Amino acid sequence: MNRYERRALLASPTAPAQAAARELADSADWVDPQDADVIIALGGDGYMLQVLHRMLDRRKPAVPVFGMNLGTVGFLMNEWRDHGLDDRLARAKPFQVVPLIATVTAADGRVHHLSAINEVSLLRETRQTAKLEITVNERVVMPELACDGVLVATPAGSTAYNLSAQGPILPLGSNLLALTPISPFRPRRWRGAILTDKARITMRVLDPAKRPVSAVADQHEVREIRELSIGMDRSRELTLLFDPEHALDDRITMEQFIG
């Protein structure tokens, strides 16, 4: 018996994903996501992040997600096929993804808790550069960084915004985080750092009134922040399922050889 017998089908509102959902509609007795053993997600990477965040918000333990790409890049997705789903699920390789949790203190004193599967970014809000103090494990490692922003990326997210910002690609399972500046002005030559995923990273905004900064965790934003503290949230581990020939760790490895 397939261990993923009770399946839920979720699709992005885009036309290709909706058309694919219609093709699969009669292929299984789909159940509500709350009752499922596995979720089939149709869309792109952005939609997969939405589905995963929905899983994080549930009180129940997260169930595995098998995505099929109906978007653009589809780094977190498998190839779209309208047949053979039983066999693909039986052969699928699971990968555990541990999200980041960011505690954000806004300029008005309110505290927000944001989760991220890919990265947490601090970004300047105006023409003024951001000025940030960076602390790792209660030690100030960067008294003042002038930049457009800075981000902390997980291995799963290291090939997304982090890579575009010239950050390092982290192998899945490496237990590392990438701390990557975005257009640093001072110190101009600082290219970031690779840290253990046990590290606690705190970033304090210097002169938040003159140089406002926003915090973005995947697709969630808090504007005009004062301070942000980031760590791993091991209590809410997620599972992605991949076809063996398109496993996420292999994709991350091969990204290092693409020009």
Instruction: Enumerate the known binding-site residues for NAD(+).
Output: 45-46, 118-119, 148, 156, 159-164
Active site residue 45: yes
8 Å CB contact between 62 and 40? no
Give the integer Cα–Cα distance in Å for 202 and 188: 21
Q: Catalytic pick from 35, 37, 45, 197? A: 45
SS (H, E, C) the chain: CCCCCCEEEEECCCHHHHHHHHHHCCCCCCCCHHHCCEEEEEECHHHHHHHHHHHHHCCCCCCCEEEEECCCCCCCCECCCCCCHHHHHHHCEEEEECCEEEEEEECCCCEEEEEECCEEEEEECCCCCEEEEEEECCEEEEEEEEEEEEEEECCCCCCCHHHHCCCCCCCCCCCEEEEEEEEEEECCCCCCEEEECCCCEEEEECCCCCCCEEEEECCEEECCEEEEEEEECHHHCEEEEECHHHCHHHHHHHHCCCC
CA 209 distance to own-chain centroid: 29
Residues annotated catalytic, as ranges: 45
